[in-house]
Structure 1
């Protein structure tokens, strides 16, 4: 098996702060991603925001893919990084980087590294990552549209 590094890009008219909030808001994920459920072990709240080391459980709409991720880096409005703690891709690590654009909006870069991969899955993973970053940008755009 070989390793695989992927990067996908999108742009949102939303602020980096809004995109960042969407990434941390587990309840919003089913509305913009292919995941049926994203649940934090310790739910975030006003009194207790998401922290490095927090764990979340993700399940797909089909119920077949189920994984646990650990948050490894949080830089408000700039970066959200996680690593697979359990599930089918235990060697997976991902980061979502947000860059404010001078003319407005946010450029979103979602990167993922798989330490072990099967070449047959590479195209599927590449496509899935591009869909995720596009769906995140579209969701953030829809939030902006609803509030304007």
Structure 2
């Protein structure tokens, strides 16, 4: 079995700080992605900013796929990285990089690497990642429109 890496890009008119905030806000995911719901694993009643090492549960809307991810890197307004923290895809690593566009707004690059490649799944993974990065950009754009 071989590895598989995929990268998807999109552009948002929003500043990087707003895009980054959407990535950190687990509750917002269900409003901007049609695929996933995200829930942070924090002790009951604990309210604090997201930190490296935090765990989150990511579930597909259809309930077929559920995974646990660990946040491994947070660079405010620039990068959000995570890795699979439990089976079945413990070899999955992802990163969202945000860069200021020369024409304004933010360029978003979402990359994911899977240690194990399943050829029938690779095209689905590529498509889903492109939809996910587009949904994130669209959500950030809508936040800019609401605050204008």
Q: TM-score range by the shorter chain?
A: over 0.9
- Look up the match of 2:41: 41
Can you list the C-alpha shifts for 1:76-127, whole angstroms capped at 9, x where unaligned? 0000000011243221000000001132100000000000011111100000
* 1:123 matched to 2:115: no
Mapped contact 1:9–1:109 kept (Cα < 8 A): yes
- Look up the match of 1:134: 134
User: Could you tell me how far apart the structure 2 residues matched to 1:34 and 1:41 are?
Assistant: 21
Mapped contact 1:29–1:35 kept (Cα < 8 A): no
Can you list the C-alpha shifts for 1:1-31, whole angstroms capped at 9, x where unaligned? 1100111000000000000000000010001
User: Could you tell me how far apart the structure 2 residues matched to 1:36 and 1:95 are?
Assistant: 17
Superposition RMSD in Å: 1.7
* 1:92 matched to 2:109: no
TM-score of the superposed pair, with normalisation by structure 2:
0.94
Shift of residue 34, structure 1, vs aligned partner: 2.7
Unpaired segments ≥5 residues, structure 2: none
Where do residues 1-148 of structure 1 align in structure 2 (5 Å cutoff)?
A: 1-42=1-42, 48-148=48-148
Unpaired segments ≥5 residues, structure 1: none
Count of aligned pairs: 147
**Segments of 4+ in structure 1 off by > 6 A?**
none
TM-score of the superposed pair, with normalisation by structure 1:
0.94
